[in-house]
Amino acid sequence: MKLSLPNAQQVLHDSTRTLKRFPLSMLSAAVATVISVYLIEREEAIQHLEPYFRIIHVSLLGIPLFLGIDLLGEKFKLSPTLKVVSMLCGLFFLLAYYATLPEEMTNIHFSRAAIMMLTVHCFVSVAPFLSRGNYRAFWEYNTQLFLRFFGAFAYAIMLFTGLSIALLALDKLLGVEVNEDLFAELLVILLGLFNTWFFLAGVPDDIDSLEEEQQYPTELKAFTQYVLVPLVSIYLVILYLYMIKIGLTWDWPRGMVSWLILFLSLLGILSSLLLYPVRQQQENQWLYHFSRLFYWLLLPLTALLVVASWRRISDYGFTELRYFLLAIALWLIGVTIYMLLNRRQNIKVFPLTLGIISLVTAFGPWSAFNVSRKSQLNRLEKILQEYALLEDGKLKPSDDKLSFEGKKEVSSIVSYLVRVHGYRTLQPLVPISLDSLLKDENRRQYPEAIMHAAFGTEFVRKWENVSQKMFSIQLNRSENSAYDVKGYDYVLECEFAGRDHEDISDYLLTDGSKLSITFDRNTSTLKVLRNRQNIHTVPLKGFVEKLVENNPTGRDGIFLSQSELKVKAQNRNGKVQVCFQYMDGELDKERIKLNNMKIIMLLEVK
């Protein structure tokens, strides 16, 4: 077979044709790319990055939005005037959406951005097929887009890898200085412009011809038949065994089962869609029966998903994640029943209904964000009323009335509302100005500050219990003093984090010997070993107990000076000084346990 490569004229012709066919999609990609490159170049000089991030987000949203509008115009053969009007409508939508974005993006706006991207991608999927029929063409069109997307991404990554190696060769072999930012800019350009251009060049232009019989990709059938279908079968067996266990033990569904059912649903629906054109063929009748059986077996599992979601909601109220989980569960029940009752099994229903549900859940009083905010505020008010801490709708701070569990529950709600919806959500409840309270606070400390000043009690983390609390001690950075290393041979920085019984940090000294520093969490002891021989043992328990006893933990932890955070030891092997940067642990009535710490060790080796 003769292999022919496209010439430069053909490449230029195809590129120009794509630009003319999808001008605003390419313009959106160019805007997002140019601003991203500008931010990489000028990030340190720009004080406020948020406006640029908002423009990038809206531009990225414009790529699929204008693609869908163009495809819709091609399908219904709109006149040039109507095409311009539809483009202006799309532009107006983006500008209106941009106007709703605040100066500072929160978790809500990032979540809504993800939902909007899902919605417009669903729009692209169905835009040329809003009329009845054309099921085969719909499948072929979306399959081509699916494969083209991954192909474009793979080409972009391969190009980036090759060009990055070339730049490194210029730097290392020829001495040409290459700025590190150039690699990030190259990746942005390839993913933003090349990837988009390559993908759009592969969008089918004769939609009606796709209804004709096409050769089904052998590799796609093999992947679905021998990879996806067996995986779906395995998950079905596991989840049905779990359902039997629930029936025997009356142990209600746990959190993990929700994600397993969602993953199974994704794999099963993907398998069913990928095999859609061939499952009616005589030799593939078993695939048709498997698809029907899958939807029958999925129905009880989606009911289980609804039960698992509702149990969490009834206990702890709505959050965005629980709302979306319940919405997806109800959507799965709906499409499953539809696929079982509708013999033709119109597969357009998947992107069409998913796009509508996504849009509905993102905006309005019924949106995930409004429902979750109101649910958690109602839950907070109910707890405060139970402890008689509300008077005329305002909080009466009192540390005595709230139980430990009450403090933990209130802390959890306050933390969620501040993190997701912003601290001003709590302003109607509290009698003090939160703007004044938090103006000089670190954002991470907002929930602790509100609990301490507005609620008049401590912030209790979800892993704490009545007899056990957490403490943290850290160096007061305002001192910014250097360490006196006179008389020591080595300065070693160590960090121990985790829950293991023992942590080890290894070092190679200048004389070739191996040094190990071990931290035993059970005994709160540091040991220094040289070539596996113990040369120093530094007990920390008594030192930490005195620190905690003499410095009651505040809401932000304990901040101490450099001189207060030193432990020294000396023996015939030399001397050692441990300088703490940070430490945390658990505190109860009987003992103190040190969990994590960061230290600088000064070591003399004889």
pLDDT at 29: 94
pLDDT at 554: 52
Supply φ then ψ for residue 458, to 5 degrees. Answer: -80, 160
> For residue 576, which amino acid is it?
V
- Please write the tens of the pLDDT for every residue from 420-449: 888 888 888 888 888 787 777 667 778 878
d(CA 605, CA 574) in angstroms, rounded, equals: 5
pLDDT at 3: 44
Distances, alpha carbon 124 to alpha carbons 67, 145, 277, 319, in Å: 7, 10, 21, 30
Contact 481, 560 (CB under 8 A): no
pLDDT at 442: 67
d(CA 423, CA 446) in angstroms, rounded, equals: 8
Q: Which residues contact 128 (CB under 8 A, 6 or more apart)?
A: 71, 72, 74, 75, 141, 207
Residue 430: name the closest of 412, 407, 409, 414 by CA.
414
Residue 431: name the closest of 391, 473, 479, 490 by CA.
391
d(CA 381, CA 383) in angstroms, rounded, equals: 5
Q: Is 422 left (phi over 0), alpha (psi -120 to 50) or beta?
A: left
Residue 206: name the closest of 28, 63, 21 by CA.
21
pLDDT at 374: 93
DSSP secondary structure, 16-55, as one string: HHHHHHSHHHHHHHHHHHHHHHHHHHHGGG-S--HHHHHH
Q: Which residues contact 431 (CB under 8 A, 6 or more apart)?
A: 394, 395, 397, 454
Residue segments in the chain with a per-residue pLDDT below the cut of 50: 1-5, 555
DSSP H/E element including 581 = strand 574-588
Neighbours of 503 (CB within 10 A): 18
Residue 212 C-beta-side C-alpha neighbours within 13 Å: 4
Residue 326: name the closest of 262, 416, 244, 232 by CA.
262
Tokens of 122: 């669903």
pLDDT at 282: 67
What predicted TM-score, i.e. pTM, was given to this entire model? 0.74
Which SS3 state, helix, strand or coil, does residue 180 take? coil
Q: Sheet harboring 502-508: ordered strands across?
A: 502-508, 514-520, 525-530, 533-539
Query: Sign of torsion, CA 398 546 556 519?
Result: negative
Contact 300, 244 (CB under 8 A): no
